[in-house]
């Protein structure tokens, strides 16, 4: 795991937030649901890229090329994020998906692995915008010890190598810890390579 605190300065954060707002204008946020139970998750989400990560009761976790509610293709990944990937990912191919999670109110994310992709040689790159989140990360099994980091607006985390399948999650978001989002809360942007290159 690599941690880059304040990788994006306030000007870069505001510019990237503008990109995210435009994506949401074309691919509105929706509430994903858990497989089997259909329980709504506490985050809202959308995607950018050639494919996007979705989940629902009927079909479970998966990547697909269109928005599950509008049926429209996902918008392109912003160039600012592609430049960040080129700088930090240490991987020769572009990401195919940018999962956008919005945490508002009491939203959180339980410990999980990102393992719906074909190529674990590619890292997962995560960007925080907005309120500070208490990020928990452990090892590649649930029984391994965990530690926490306070992810602030502009911070970047890369999970790669032996930590690519590390369990991680968000314990809580610290309300009003950032003024970047007028509505409050936090966006987490996760860049992922989904398929194995030819």
DSSP conformation letters of 121-160: TS-EEEEEEES-EEEEE--SSTTS--EEEEE-TT-EEEE-
User: How far is Cα 197 from Cα 163, in angstroms, rounded to an integer?
Assistant: 21
Does residue 123 belong to any structural domain of this protein?
yes
Domain that holds residue 141: 2-192
User: pLDDT digit string (tens) for 40-70?
Assistant: 999 999 999 999 999 999 999 999 999 999 9
CATH (domain of 143) = 2.60.120.590
Which tokens is 6 given? 């304040």
User: Residue 84: inside a domain, yes or no?
Assistant: yes
How many folded domains does the chain comprise? 1
Residue 109 placed within a domain: yes
What is d(CA 158, CA 127) in angstroms, rounded to the nearest whole number? 9
For the stretch 127-166, pLDDT in tens is 999 999 999 999 999 999 999 999 999 999 999 999 999 9
The verdict on residue 173 lying in a domain is yes
Task: Please report whether residue 98 resides in a domain.
Answer: yes
Tell me: pLDDT of 198 over 90: no
Is the residue at 94 inside a domain?
yes
- For the segment 71-104, what is each residue's pLDDT rounded down to a tens digit? 999 999 999 999 999 999 999 999 999 999 999 9
Residue 105 has pLDDT above 90, yes or no: no
The label of the residue with tokens 């890369």 reads: 158
Domain assignment present for residue 197? The answer is: no
Do the domain assignments include residue 71? yes
As a whole number, the mean pLDDT across the chain is 97
């Amino acid at each position: 795991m690599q941690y880059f605190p304040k990788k994006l300065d306030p000007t870069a954060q505001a510019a990237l937030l503008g990109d995210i707002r435009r994506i949401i204008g074309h691919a509105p946020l929706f509430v994903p649901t858990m497989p089997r139970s259909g329980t709504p998750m506490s985050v809202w989400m959308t995607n950018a890229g050639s494919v996007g990560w979705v989940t629902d009761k009927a079909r479970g976790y998966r990547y697909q090329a269109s928005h599950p509610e509008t049926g429209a293709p996902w918008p392109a990944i912003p160039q600012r994020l592609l430049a960040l990937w080129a700088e930090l990912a240490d991987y020769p191919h572009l990401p195919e998906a940018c999962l956008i999670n919005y945490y508002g109110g009491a939203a959180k994310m339980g410990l999980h692995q990102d393992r719906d992709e074909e190529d674990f040689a590619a890292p997962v790159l995560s960007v925080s915008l907005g309120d500070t989140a208490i990020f928990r990360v452990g090892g590649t099994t649930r029984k391994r010890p965990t530690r926490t980091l306070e992810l602030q607006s502009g911070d970047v985390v890369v999970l790669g190598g032996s930590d690519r399948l590390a369990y991680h999650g968000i314990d809580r978001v610290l309300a009003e810890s950032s003024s970047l989002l007028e509505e409050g809360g936090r966006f987490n942007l996760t860049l992922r390579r989904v398929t194995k290159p030819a």
